[in-house]
Amino acid sequence: MPSLTAGKLKYRFGGPAIRPGLYEVGTAEFRYWTAAEALRRGADFWTARLPSLKWQTGSILNVLLDEGVDLNAYYDRQALTFFHDQASTGTVYSGESPDILCHEMGHAVLDGLKPQLWNVASHEAAAFHETFGDMSAMLAALQLPMMRQLVLSATSGRINRNSRLSRLAEQLGAAIRETHPDAVSRDSLRNAANSFTYQDPLQLPSSAPAAQLSSEPHSFSRVFTGAFLDALAGMLVVAAGQQVPPSEQDLEVVSQHMGDILLAGIQQAPVVSNFYAQVAAGMIQASTAADPGYPRVLKAAFIRRHILSLSSAAAVEPFRAALFPSGGASGLGAPSEALGQLALAGNAYGLGDRPLVVETPSQPRHFPAKAAANAFGSIEPSASETTARGFVEDLFLRGKVDCDGAGVDETRMDPVLGLKTHRLVDLGRMLRLERRLCDCGLCRA
C-alpha cells in the first residue's frame, strides 16, 4: 500500500484522505489510489539514486487531482495539478494516468535537481523538462514486473519498437485528437518510438502538426526521448549478453542503470544553448562505470539522432570513478555558475519603453559537445543571447506570456485565450520574464 508521507519525497493530496480498499475503476477513490501508487513509485525510483533530492517546496509537494475542466496537467513549483474533460469514450481524468502522473512528477524532480533550467530562456532547456518528464514516466513504468513482461513480449526484446512503454498517455492523446486531430501522435500523446533527429531549434517553426518537428517544447522533446529509448534498447542488448530474448530481470537492471546515468549526465551538464549535446556527452562519460559496453550504444543512439556529431562523440572520454558509489551523485562536479541576463527591447513585444530582462543559457562549457549538421560536420552552438531572443520570440508567437497589464492595450502581444506558461514581473524600471508552470496537455483553460 503506497504511503504519501513515506520516503524522502512526500506528497499531500488536496481534499479528504481516502481509506485503503477495493474501489471500482472510474471512481474518485480509485483515482486517488492510482495516483498515490504511481507517484510513490516514481519518487522512490529517483530518491534511490539521489537521496539528497528535495522538491522546490521542501519535503512535501501538493497534488491536486481534479481542478476542473481541461485536457491538461501541469507543474508550477507549488503543486502537481490535474484536470478532466469529456470524450466520446466518457470522462477522461489526466490524474488517473500513471504516465501523466509520473511525467508531472518528473518536472518536479528535475526542478529540484537542476533549478537553473526553470527560468532560462532556452528552447533546449524547456524541451528537456518535457523529455525528462517522459523519460521519468517510462523508467517508473519499468519498475513494474508486469510492464517489463508486457514490453518484452510485445517487442520481442527490441524495446525501442512501438509498445505500451513508448506510447505515452494514450487516453489523453485520444481525447485531444477528437477535437485537434493533428495536435498529438496518432496513437498517444507522444510516442518515444519515433524517427525525429536533431535540428537547430532556431531554424524550426514555433509550432507545427505532431507529424513534424517544431521548436515548441513538447514537440522538440521527442528528439531526446527517442534517443533515450534507443539507448535503453542498446543497453538491454549489452546487459543480456548471449541471452536472447533478454529477461525481465535484465530490463529491470538496465532501467535502474539508465536512471543513474541520466542523473549523472544532467548534473554535470552546463546550462548552455546546446544543452542536449551536453547532457548526452555527460551520459556517455558516466555510463562506463555501470557497464563498459554502455558507452558504445549510447554514442550510437545520440549520433543517429544527430544530438552529437561524429567528432563530438569520438572525443568523449569516460569517467574513471565509480558511478554514484554511495547512492548519490554528489561527486560529479555539477555546474553551479549563475546564469547571465539579457535586456531585450520591450517595444518589440508591445510592452512600451521598459526593457524586458531574461536569463540566458550562459554557463561555461566544460566539454565541446556539438550536434551533427545535416550535411556533415557539427552545428556551432548559438550564442546565449541569440538563443534567448529566439526563445522569447517563440513564447510571444504562441501566446504563452501573461503580460499582466504591462504596455499599452493597443500594442501589447497578450492574447486573451490560452494557458500562460510565463509571466512578466514588474521591477519598476524594467520587466522580468519568469516561468509560471510547465503545462502538458491541450491547455484550453
Tens-place pLDDT, residues 400-425: 999 887 866 666 666 656 789 999 99
Model pLDDT, residue 417: 65
Mean pLDDT over 271-288 rounds to 97
Q: Which residues contact 136 (CB under 8 A, 6 or more apart)?
A: 42, 46, 102, 103, 105, 106, 109
Model pLDDT, residue 329: 43
Confidence of residue 319 (pLDDT cuts 50, 70, 90): low
Report helix angle 248-268 to 98-113, nearest 10. 40
Confidence of residue 79 (pLDDT cuts 50, 70, 90): very high
Q: How far apart are CA 356 and CA 430, in angstroms?
A: 6
Is residue 7 pLDDT above 70, yes or no?
yes
Tens-place pLDDT, residues 203-261: 999 999 999 999 999 999 999 999 999 999 999 999 999 888 899 999 999 999 999 99
Mean residue pLDDT across the chain:
92
> Which amino acid appears at position 289 of this protein?
A
Q: Are the beta carbons of 38 and 140 closer than 8 angstroms?
A: yes
Model pLDDT, residue 414: 61
Tens-place pLDDT, residues 106-131: 999 999 999 999 999 999 999 999 99
Instruction: Specify which of 1-10, 16-25, 120-129 reaches the highest per-range mean pLDDT.
Output: 120-129
Report helix angle 275-287 to 248-268, nearest 10. 130
Is residue 62 pLDDT above 60, yes or no?
yes
Is residue 286 pLDDT above 70, yes or no?
yes
Peptide bond just before 217 cis, omega within 30 deg: no
Is residue 330 pLDDT above 80, yes or no?
no
Tens-place pLDDT, residues 157-182: 999 999 999 999 999 999 999 999 99
